[in-house]
Structure 1
Amino acid sequence: GQVEREYSLHSSPVRGIEWSGLKSFISYAYSNPGPSNLVKNEIFTLDITSGKQEQLRTNRENESPIEMLTISHLKQYFLVMFKDKPLELWDLRTQTLIRELPRNFPRPTAVVWSPSHSLRTLRKKLLDYGEDDKSMVTSVPSNSMTSSVDSQDEKDKKEHRKSSVREHFVMTDKDGTVFHFIVEG
């Protein structure tokens, strides 16, 4: 093979990479921990076609190293697991932090996203969206300006509902307890 492109994103050794789409990925890096075991974590997203890169979790220094980053099957959410810090749940599309688990919550030893819930929920959402779309067209008068505006608002609401599908993940802790989480944007 040959090198197609080369990217320089991180200032430290890369510790993990996950595909976040067909042409994009998320990578994370940190330098070797010092005596305090704290590091400066870096997380970047990169679009490999345009070269556009964005750094997530900026202005955070001296924290526990990232141990794992995992992206949901429908590429809507991702989890960041740390060695000695609570798990973080992020919205991949908006690149915003949704939730950080409480400090006293057990640290995960394994985390996995559920593919079966995702596919069933996605199919149902798409079917519901298609039916709602047809009924909306027949109920809107074509000559009314306010109906047209209402129709657009309704379409926007339905698009948002369609675009955020419920996903599930499970995690275990060192005692073998299994925790089941449901995420819906």
Structure 2
Amino acid sequence: VRQVDPDALLAMGPVPIVGEDEKFANGFTIRAEKCPNRRGIEQVLRGFGGAIAWEELPEQLASEGIQALWITGGYPSAWHDETLAQQFADVPNIVMQDIFASPLWNQATLQLPSSAFAERDGSYVNYSDRLQSFRWAVRPPAGARVEGRVYWQLLNMPGMYNARQVLTELGQANSFFAPAIGEVPDVGIDLRVNQLAATS
């Protein structure tokens, strides 16, 4: 991002909360928060110098005269409405990358069909800073493309998109992800191990 525009404004999207945490006797918990990679996204954004909250974005659009937006989605539930979308109406170029139609999708200059979690390779960082990597299980529908593959090509990276290589580069550039530079076991890796080592 900073290679393309050193002053690019980054924003963290909305984080849906549905009900309350559901806890089971065996210790398993279904979290009310429905953004499984929130911690990972926050740490990537922190590595770029931080980000504004989604709620602040419309005001920034008005005050900064922003000419282009790239928005990624993927929530199955509605995460914005027509009223919010209208606040983006004066932005001349909107790239919308999502798996579902929405008001912002409908007014986007460029619509990029994305892929669901089972259609991609990558890693998530859960609420307790455990990073787990995974392989794609099914192919995306025709025309849909994984976000990482799109960015890989835009950055003119050689060969095919490689999620493992991206994670290694992320770990080299952002110390939060450094424990994941090596092999990530099937049960994942606790990224807080880095913080523990720093305080010892």
> Under TM normalisation by the shorter chain, which class is it?
under 0.3
The TM-score, its normalising length taken from structure 1, stands at 0.24
The TM-score, its normalising length taken from structure 2, stands at 0.23
Task: Give the greater-gyration-radius structure (CA).
Answer: 1
